[in-house]
Amino acid sequence: MMLNAIKKAGPEAMEDGEIFVGDLHEKGEATWTCDSTSQWAIRGTDQDFDYLIRRWLDEGIYVDVASGLVHIIWTGGEPTMPAHQEAICNFLDYAWDEDDRFEPFNEIETNGTFVIKDRLFNELDQINCSPKLANSGMSAKRRIKPDAINRIMEHHNYQFKFVVSTEEDIQEVFRDFVDPFCIPLQNVVCMPGLDDQTNFHERTNFIMEMARKYKFRGLTRLHISAWDKTLNV
């Protein structure tokens, strides 16, 4: 679920009045594309709370969402920006007021740059944190927020997921995140940077070999295998 269905915001996260910059695509140096941001930019619209509930009813999945069988995954943009945290909680309160059987499974996809406040933290069943690496073109000061990362690790169900293209990326994951924050390896997931099926098997083999070597959990990108392109699936 894209957060802009509740509250629209720019695809670049903002902090202290400044926009995160450093897109390597303009330089021709990017090794993969973040599909959630591109989907947001293409398909995002302003909608009220009822819109989500109507969509679930129209698709015949409302009961599955309300029971937690189908997960709600809050993404963006960056869903932990303060206004977005408030919007998510307001929606959940609204949905529960409309139906006191509404007990969804709430996941969140965050880059780990904003502290998750108690109100939202206590609603979440799973936190998926995907910090940016240096290959994003963003400075370490912007990418690595110790308070936000430590807060995530207080949750009972979290994982840190990194998109990597080289063994040097993996070494950076350990140097900048795993070692300094003492992240347990069972909570570390790495997946290959992939935009289409061209190198799917080679990249999947790469990540599995790296997982065996470094002892993190390795995943591939099955939606690429199934549908090729990341956009407009």
Domain locations in the chain?
1-156, 158-233
173-207 per-position pLDDT tens digit:
999 999 999 999 999 999 998 888 989 999 999 99
Are the C-beta atoms of residues 27 and 216 closer than 8 Å to each other?
Answer: no
SS3 category, 18: strand
Are the C-beta atoms of residues 49 and 6 closer than 8 Å to each other?
Answer: yes
pLDDT band at 34 (very low <50, low <70, confident <90, very high): low
**pLDDT of 14 higher than 70:** no
Select the more confidently predicted residue: 41 or 214: 214
pLDDT band at 93 (very low <50, low <70, confident <90, very high): very high
Distance in angstroms (rounded) separating the CA atoms of residues 48 and 166: 42
Q: What is the mean pLDDT of residues 31-47?
A: 57
Element housing 140 (H / E): helix 140-143
**pLDDT of 71 higher than 90:** yes
**pLDDT of 84 higher than 50:** yes
Tell which residue, 108, 43, 116, 114, has the closest CA to residue 72: 108
What pLDDT is attached to residue 230? 59
Q: What is the mean pLDDT of residues 54-67?
A: 97
134 Cβ contact partners less than 8 Å away, ≥ 6 residues apart: 140, 143, 172
Tell which residue, 107, 101, 103, has the closest CA to residue 161: 107
**pLDDT of 79 higher than 90:** yes
What pLDDT is attached to residue 22? 47
153 Cβ contact partners less than 8 Å away, ≥ 6 residues apart: 181, 183
| pTM listed for this prediction | 0.81
Tell me the β-bridge partners of 106: 72
Distance in angstroms (rounded) separating the CA atoms of residues 126 and 10: 25
- Amino acid occupying residue 190: C
pLDDT band at 16 (very low <50, low <70, confident <90, very high): very low
Tell which residue, 130, 73, 151, 153, has the closest CA to residue 107: 73
Distance in angstroms (rounded) separating the CA atoms of residues 183 and 49: 36
Q: What is the mean pLDDT of residues 13-37?
A: 46
- Average pLDDT taken over every residue of the chain: 85
141-168 per-position pLDDT tens digit:
999 999 999 999 999 999 999 999 999 9
Tell which residue, 112, 78, 103, 117, has the closest CA to residue 181: 112
**pLDDT of 73 higher than 50:** yes
Q: What is the mean pLDDT of residues 197-219?
A: 96
**pLDDT of 1 higher than 90:** no
As a whole number of Å, the CA-based R_g of the chain is 18
Q: Which of 13-17, 123-127, 172-176 has the lowest average pLDDT? A: 13-17
Are the C-beta atoms of residues 220 and 191 closer than 8 Å to each other?
Answer: yes
Distance in angstroms (rounded) separating the CA atoms of residues 220 and 163: 10
In which residue are the tokens 């969804």 written?
Answer: 104
Distance in angstroms (rounded) separating the CA atoms of residues 126 and 73: 9
What pLDDT is attached to residue 104? 98
What pLDDT is attached to residue 15? 42
Are the C-beta atoms of residues 74 and 106 closer than 8 Å to each other?
Answer: yes
